């Protein structure tokens, strides 16, 4: 047992595991510092301001709220990544899921838990159905899912705007903000302030942590378990790693492709709910945009693992929230976009370099064994 543990935790493996994220962090800091210096400001002051603002109690809650939809959407993307696919259409799927769940969910009243469950089902259904279009085109017509999901994103944006303005919105006199009817209290998910107060956390102006946080945690655990501990997860990974070998071993790769895309769309439908169930309680013109695209970066940076994506989502949430403080020292808050981009680029390059170095080490070790 001790020998096995020693082999698993050998210095070389630990060093390689640390090398990639460390190199990515150093590169990101350097690039971000250059961007700040170009603005004729001090990088040290900028990072200090971001840290101080981002570690305040209210900011920490907002960081978690920002990271929650990122994490759910990243799980949706990771499902297809594991199957060797690329679902770029999460943005459109979550938008339609949020729109229809708010519109249909406001039509009736049920007991609280059942009503929330019904809203979840509606969101997952419309997200999954929208993804099923790309799945059908992929399986039956051989259309690349990247192309089809990009096109479906545009269609979803136009369709949601049309449905909201022409059919779903409540017209209020003196207001230009189109929104669906407010969800009844039974469909709303309360925040976690009552729980946080018990551990000494004071109320914050921006409200508490979304109740959907627990849903995100549960989804992360389910994703990890299904992918790593079930036959379905094995077939999903096999289809992604080597479709030909998977088919030879009896895995229906077309079926797995269709299922993976639909499941991804269903999960994506949920990623638009933290905001509408926890804060706005309706779908409106101010619905948060860009969640699906940022989630692609979260999934890539997190290496499609439940834990890695959680850390990545919190990192992106921290950068997005804390960057608002840069305006206090006359630095454009959009600097965080440069930080996000440099982190993603450097991490992808670093992980690829480390992967190739690992392969080289393994080849050398195998050569030594053969020679011996």
pLDDT band at 121 (very low <50, low <70, confident <90, very high): very high
Q: How confident is the model at residue 116, as a pLDDT?
A: 94
Q: How far from each other are the two terminal CA atoms of the chain, in whole angstroms?
A: 25
The model's pTM is 0.89
Q: How confident is the model at residue 175, as a pLDDT?
A: 64
Q: Calculate mean pLDDT across residues 281-310.
A: 89
- Which alpha helices (DSSP H) does 83-192 contain, by range? 90-105, 112-141, 145-163
Please tell me which residue, 220 or 38, carries the higher pLDDT value. 220
301-310 residue pLDDT tens: 888 899 989 9
The ranges assigned to domains in the chain are 41-191+207-360
Q: Decide if domain 41-191+207-360 falls under CATH 1.10.3470.
A: yes
Whole-number mean pLDDT of the chain? 86
Q: Calculate mean pLDDT across residues 256-268.
A: 95
Q: Calculate mean pLDDT across residues 89-93.
A: 94
Q: Which long-range contacts (CB under 8 A, 24 or more apart) does 21-24 make?
A: 21/347, 21/350, 23/346, 23/350, 24/343, 24/346, 24/347, 24/350
11-54 residue pLDDT tens: 666 566 666 677 777 888 888 888 888 878 888 898 899 999 99
DSSP state, residue 83: T
The percent of residues above 70 in pLDDT, for the chain, comes to 92
Please tell me which residue, 158 or 19, carries the higher pLDDT value. 158
pLDDT band at 97 (very low <50, low <70, confident <90, very high): very high
Q: How confident is the model at residue 173, as a pLDDT?
A: 64
Q: Calculate mean pLDDT across residues 266-293.
A: 90
Instruction: Look at residues 320, 345, 317, 339 and name the one whose alpha carbon lies nearest to residue 30.
Output: 339
């Amino acid at each position: 047992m001790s020998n096995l543990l020693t082999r698993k935790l050998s210095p070389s493996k630990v060093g390689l595991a640390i090398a990639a994220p460390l190199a990515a962090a150093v590169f990101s800091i350097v690039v971000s510092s250059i961007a700040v210096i170009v603005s004729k400001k001090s990088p040290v002051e900028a990072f200090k301001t971001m840290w101080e603002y981002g570690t305040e109690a209210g900011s920490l809650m907002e960081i978690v709220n920002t990271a929650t939809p990122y994490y759910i959407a990243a799980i949706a993307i990771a499902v297809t990544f594991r199957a060797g696919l690329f679902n770029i259409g999460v943005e459109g799927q979550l938008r339609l899921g949020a729109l229809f769940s708010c519109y249909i969910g406001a039509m009736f009243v049920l007991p609280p838990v059942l009503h929330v469950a019904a809203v979840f089902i509606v969101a997952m259904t419309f997200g999954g159905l929208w993804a099923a279009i790309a799945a059908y085109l992929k399986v039956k017509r051989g259309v690349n899912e990247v192309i089809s999901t990009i096109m479906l994103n545009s269609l979803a944006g136009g369709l949601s705007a049309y449905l909201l303005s022409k059919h779903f919105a409540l017209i209020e006199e003196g207001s230009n903000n189109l929104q669906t009817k407010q969800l009844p209290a039974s469909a709303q998910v309360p925040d976690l302030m009552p729980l946080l107060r018990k551990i000494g956390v004071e109320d914050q102006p921006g409200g508490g942590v979304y109740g959907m946080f627990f849903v995100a945690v549960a989804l992360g655990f389910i994703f990890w378990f299904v992918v790593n501990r079930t036959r379905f997860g094995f077939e999903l990974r096999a289809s992604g790693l080597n479709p030909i070998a998977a088919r030879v071993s009896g895995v229906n790769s077309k079926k797995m492709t269709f299922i993976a895309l639909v499941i991804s769309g269903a999960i994506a439908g949920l990623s638009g709910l933290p905001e509408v169930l926890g804060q706005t309680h309706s779908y409106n013109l101010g619905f948060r945009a860009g969640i699906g695209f940022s989630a692609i970066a979260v999934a890539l940076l997190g290496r499609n693992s439940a834990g890695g994506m959680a850390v990545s989502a919190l990192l992106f949430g921290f950068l997005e929230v804390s960057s608002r403080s840069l305006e206090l020292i006359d630095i454009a808050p959009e600097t965080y976009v440069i930080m996000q981009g440099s982190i993603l680029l450097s991490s992808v390059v670093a992980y690829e370099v480390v992967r190739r170095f690992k392969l080289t080490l393994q080849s050398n070790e195998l050569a030594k064994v053969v020679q011996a």
